[in-house]
Amino acid sequence: MLRGFYTAASGMLTQQRRTEMLTNNISNANTTGYKADQTSVRSFPELLLGNMQSNAIPTDNKLSMPKMSQVGSLSTGVYVQEANPLFTQGTLEETELNTDIALADENLPINEETGKTGSVLFTVQDNDGQLRYTRDGSFTLDGQGYLTTPRGYYVLDENNERIQLESDRFTVTDNGAILEGNIQTARLGVGYSDNPSNQLVKDGEGLYRAVDDPLPSAYATEELDFSTKQGFLEGSNVDQSRTMTEMMSAYRSFEANQKVLQAYDKSLDKAVNEVGKL
């Protein structure tokens, strides 16, 4: 009975975590460049149950022979194994601001191991000098003319150097080149990950950090086709209707496990307070 008690409790915890993740997706549905999280639910190893009996042997010494029969397997519950961002592109929305830049995925190679496409991301530098990556292109110029993110992180060029401009009257071409007048002053740094679910970890505020080595330049990657769109921003890729449906499903699963837990609790109550009195 206690095994079933813990199994139902693990189901409740799993659905609670799913609900929290889905709620976070809904709350970021309008966040620029946000990538929706997806959970992977796995089950714990099953237990093989057996029943031990004894068969009496008709002898003078009244011997008995142990016998074991197989009852079957018992699930020990489920758990949330991991939560990975979904790196599909969101809708591009026009803002007509020169400092707003979006990345448009056009032809990204498919990873043979995962069967999924990779992702291209802007390269930025945090306050500690560490490389970070983002799809949020709502940039601005600081007081010294450096191109920065909303958090004040520096946007880097293809050589991982800070981009300093004279004014916000600049042009960004489809291949990431930044022109002031007719002179190219920099080229936006864009990294490429062929397996972003394993190579990138969310770092808050729409930023990602590389798990191991820095991402290679997207410009040097063969069979990779993308473009930069000035005056556009990428919206989130959250499917609100689907997310709401999954939230309702998670809630119903939580409620079902809760009822099972209450049934076990009533059975234990009878076993302690009623059967125990006999």
226-249 mean pLDDT: 94
| 192 has pLDDT over 80 | yes
pLDDT in tens, 75-102: 667 777 777 889 999 999 999 999 999 9
Distance of CA 37 to the CA centre of its chain: 4
Distance of CA 253 to the CA centre of its chain: 21
Q: Are residues 64 and 97 in the same domain?
A: no
Q: What is the pLDDT of residue 103?
A: 95
Q: Are residues 96 and 197 in the same domain?
A: yes
Mapped onto helix, strand or coil, the DSSP state of residue 172 is strand
Q: What is the pLDDT of residue 52?
A: 67
In this structure, the number of other CB atoms found within 10 A of the CB of residue 43 comes to: 14
Q: What is the pLDDT of residue 278?
A: 54
DSSP 194: S
Q: Are residues 114 and 155 in the same domain?
A: yes
Q: What is the pLDDT of residue 31?
A: 93
Domain count, the chain: 2
Q: Is 41 exposed, middle or buried (0-12, 13-18, 19+ CB in 10 A)?
A: middle
Q: Are residues 57 and 104 in the same domain?
A: no
Q: Are residues 33 and 112 in the same domain?
A: no
Binned at pLDDT 50, 70 and 90, residue 58 comes out as low
Checking DSSP bridges between strand 183-187 and strand 190-193, what pairing results, if any? unpaired
* pTM, entire model: 0.81
Binned at pLDDT 50, 70 and 90, residue 10 comes out as confident
Question: Average model confidence (pLDDT) for the chain?
Answer: 86
Q: Are residues 21 and 71 in the same domain?
A: yes
The residue among 216, 234, 252 that closes a domain is 234
pLDDT in tens, 65-80: 666 666 666 666 777 7
CA atoms within 13 A on the CB side of 27: 6
Instruction: Please give the share of the chain, as a percent, with pLDDT higher than 90.
Output: 54
Q: Are residues 126 and 163 in the same domain?
A: yes
CB-based contact 144:154 (threshold 8 Å): no
Instruction: Dig out the tokens for 77 from the structure.
Output: 């519950």
Q: Are residues 258 and 199 in the same domain?
A: no
Q: Are residues 95 and 77 in the same domain?
A: no
Q: Are residues 106 and 227 in the same domain?
A: yes
Q: How many secondary structure helices (H) and strands (E) does the chain include?
A: 3, 19
Distance of CA 22 to the CA centre of its chain: 11
Q: How far apart are the first and last CA of the chain?
A: 20
Q: What is the pLDDT of residue 223?
A: 83
Residues 6+ apart with CB under 8 A from 193: 118, 119, 121, 133, 199, 200, 210, 215
pLDDT in tens, 136-182: 999 999 999 999 998 899 999 999 999 999 998 999 999 999 999 88
Instruction: Dig out the tokens for 31 from the structure.
Output: 């966040």
Least confident stretch, 11-15, 56-60, 217-221: 56-60
Of 222 and 253, the one with more pLDDT = 253
CB-based contact 49:67 (threshold 8 Å): no
> Which range marks the domain in which residue 94 is found?
88-234
Q: Are residues 127 and 256 in the same domain?
A: no
Binned at pLDDT 50, 70 and 90, residue 29 comes out as very high
Q: What is the pLDDT of residue 70?
A: 67
* Rounded Cα gap, residues 149 and 87, in angstroms: 20
* Rounded Cα gap, residues 103 and 243, in angstroms: 25
Instruction: Dig out the tokens for 147 from the structure.
Output: 């191109």
Q: Are residues 218 and 257 in the same domain?
A: no
239-248 long-range contacts, CB within 8 A, separation 24+: 239/36, 240/26, 240/29, 243/22, 243/25, 243/26, 243/29, 243/36, 244/26, 246/18, 246/22, 247/19, 247/22, 247/23, 247/26
Q: At what angle do helices 240-273 and 2-27 cross, to 10 degrees?
A: 160
